[in-house]
Amino acid sequence: MDLFDQKKENKSLTSLIFDKIREDILNGRYSSGDKLVEIKLADELGVSRTPVREALKQLELDGLVDNIPNRGVVVKGITREDIDDILTIRLCIEGLVGQWAATRITDEEVKELDEIYDLMEFYTVKEDVDKLFELNTKFHETLYKATKSRYLEGVLKDFQLFIKSARNNSLKSAGRPNLALDEHKAILDAMKNHDEIEARRTLINHITQSNSNIKRLMNLTTTVN
């Protein structure tokens, strides 16, 4: 597969397989209760069973699958309770992102944020939500990088991935792209001014609004179902 031939970011084969299966779980290719068969995955990916076995062990540690005796590896996925937990934890630590990023961000990273925001503005007018979602993720990952904390960056990038579907649905809801654009502009201005208090406030506000929208949509889905 091209994915493995590229050896992107110098990752090991096991790590690439882990990323691929995790993405398939979080994107809904595999549903809760689906069985992941080691030999079948190895055949599909064109690899030996050993790195697949190791990747499945990592997924178990991540809580995305269970290895059940006499049944094998079964998908757990991300539950609504998991999403609620992630949203709450994320809200508690995103203020720290604003505080640290505002004081540690480089001129180059400010320029990068500015360029991302300009593109967000363009695609908001175009109503291209798929492109907006991609840019939104890039904007926040640039902020995480600007904190200069690999632990904080790692946790929040994982959170972004785990609630990818919920975040995408939120951005697609009526009126949300324009509101999100205003919220990102406030964050960008705080970063330009290296104002840690305002950066903390604007990031917390943005995450609060995003969380509220995600929960509202989940409640609507529950009601409809």
pLDDT digits (tens, 9 = 90+) for 199-217: 999 999 999 999 999 999 8
Query: Looking at the whole model, is its pTM more than 0.85?
Result: no
Topology of the domain covering 2-75: Arc Repressor Mutant, subunit A (1.10.10)
Domain ranges in the chain with CATH number 1.20.120.530: 80-224
Q: What is the pLDDT of residues 129-178, one digit of tens each?
A: 999 999 999 999 999 999 999 999 999 999 998 998 889 889 998 899 99
pLDDT of residue 104: 98
Strands 65-68 and 35-36: unpaired
For the chain, how far is it from start to end, CA to CA, in angstroms?
38
Query: 80-224 architecture in CATH?
Result: Up-down Bundle (1.20)
3-state secondary structure (DSSP) of residue 53: helix
pLDDT of residue 218: 86
Query: pLDDT averaged over the chain?
Result: 91
- Residue among 189, 162, 177, 161 at smallest CA distance from 213: 177
Domain ranges in the chain with CATH number 1.10.10.10: 2-75
Is the distance from CB of 86 to CB of 94 less than 8 angstroms? Answer: no
66/69 Cα distance (integer angstroms): 10
